[in-house]
Amino acid sequence: MAFRIGKSVMLNFGNDLEPLFIFAGLAFLLLIGPLLRWYYVAMTHANFRLPRHYLLELLPFFIIFSASFFVTRNWFETNDKQVIIVFGSVLIFIYLHFAFYIFMAASTVKRVKKNYAKELQTKSQKAILSWLSLLIVGFIVIWISYFLNIIEDAVPYIIGPIMYSAVVYFLSIKAFQLKVTDVDGNTFKKNDDMTLFNEISKLIVEDKLCLEPDVSLSGVSKLVGKSTQKASEVINQYAKRNFNDFVNYYRVQEAKKMLLDDENSKYTISAIAFDSGFSSLSSFNGAFKKFEGITPSAYRKNMSS
């Protein structure tokens, strides 16, 4: 990126810049794209090792960079139609190539976010995904600023390197603020904690263990074969609440379904409280108001009106 900015500055302020520098500078865009994608893969995959076949993605860079040594001033400065077509085609290919890799990087982030639900992300994972999202925005801004420049000089040429530099400085600051220099793809390493939480969630939610009034942390711990301390730890880490609130939240969700069901209109609030796993009406009212902001009776009244 530094070479890319350097070429633009020399082209804007220098006189009679050799075509070698112009083409070599453009070639570096063909290098930034693959490096960007590899970085995204490395930051979202544990124990990443660059496969050898990835190096084939550098082929366009080496071809254009090598060809830049054979571009003469006479050839470059001529108004020959073929020269214009060749230069224009190379320019369009370079910018489409860069746009393609920005899209690939964005797809990587989207895929990771889909696989790691936001509420289950650790602090480090959130920092990395926020950083990678900012990086995408920064590269889009850079791409637009340069692309507008080649469309009939829509913006002054110097705006490109200025915008480029501003984005790089901004991203550097954000990288240190988010402390992404201290983490890597191992943050997304599959661990036993997430597996354990998914197992506990299945028991509470899918197997409807939350509807059992005597469900306890010790009982759930025995079912998953872990200590109560470990079970409590993963619930706090991924559910962001303690065991009682974790269970009560899903009890309230079940109670809401019952309150909305017309067939249950004949049942009292107390009956629904006991059917959804609560051992007393007061605990049901307290939990319901905590998660929904209103009492069960008010909820039923609002939904039926």
167, 188, 209 - which closes a domain: 188
Q: What is the pLDDT of residues 172-222, one digit of tens each?
A: 999 999 988 888 888 887 667 778 888 999 999 999 999 999 999 999 999
Average pLDDT for residues 287-303, to the nearest whole number? Answer: 90
How many degrees, rounded to 5, is the angle at CA 145 between CA 143 and CA 150? 95
On whether both 245 and 106 belong to a single domain, the answer is no
Statement to judge: residues 122 and 256 lie in one domain: no
- Measured CA to CA, the distance from residue 225 to residue 217 in angstroms comes to 12
Domain check: are 264 and 181 in the same one?
Answer: no
Residue finishing a domain among 137, 162, 188: 188
Structure tokens at 243: 């065991």
34 lies in the same domain as 163: yes
Coil, helix or strand for 4?
helix
Domain final residue, candidates 168, 188, 208: 188
Q: In this structure, are 139 and 160 located in the same domain? A: yes
Asked if pLDDT for residue 129 goes beyond 90, the answer is yes
Going by C-alpha positions, the residue among 289, 288, 230, 213 that lies closest to residue 258 is 288
Q: Are 151 and 205 part of one and the same domain?
A: no
Q: Are residues 109 and 234 in the same domain?
A: no
In single-letter form, the type of residue at position 120 comes to L
Residues 177 and 49 in one domain: yes
CB 104 within 8 A of CB 37: yes
In tens, the pLDDT along 85-116 reads: 887 888 889 989 999 999 999 999 999 888 77
Q: Which residue, chain included where needed, has tokens 């480090």?
A: 124
Q: 20-35, pLDDT tens digit by residue?
A: 777 887 888 899 999 9
Tell me how many domains the chain contains: 2
111 shares a domain with 8: yes
Residue 270: CATH number of its domain = 1.10.10.60
Mean pLDDT of 131-157: 82
Looking at the structure, do residues 250 and 117 belong to the same domain, yes or no? no
Nearest to 98 by CA among 68, 153, 54, 142: 142
CB 141 within 8 A of CB 160: no
- Say if residue 221 is in the same domain as residue 271: yes
* 237-248: average pLDDT: 91
Which class for 134: exposed (0-12), middle (13-18), buried (19 or more C-beta within 10 A)? Answer: middle
Q: 250, 185, 176: which is closest to 220 by C-alpha?
A: 250
Can you say whether residue 30 is alpha, beta or left, with left for phi > 0 and alpha for psi between -120 and 50 degrees? alpha
Does the structure show a pLDDT above 60 at 136?
Answer: yes
Based on the fold, state whether residues 47 and 142 are members of the same structural domain: yes
Mean pLDDT comparison of 76-80, 183-187, 300-304, highest-scoring range: 183-187
List the domain range (segments joined by +) for residue 290. Answer: 192-304
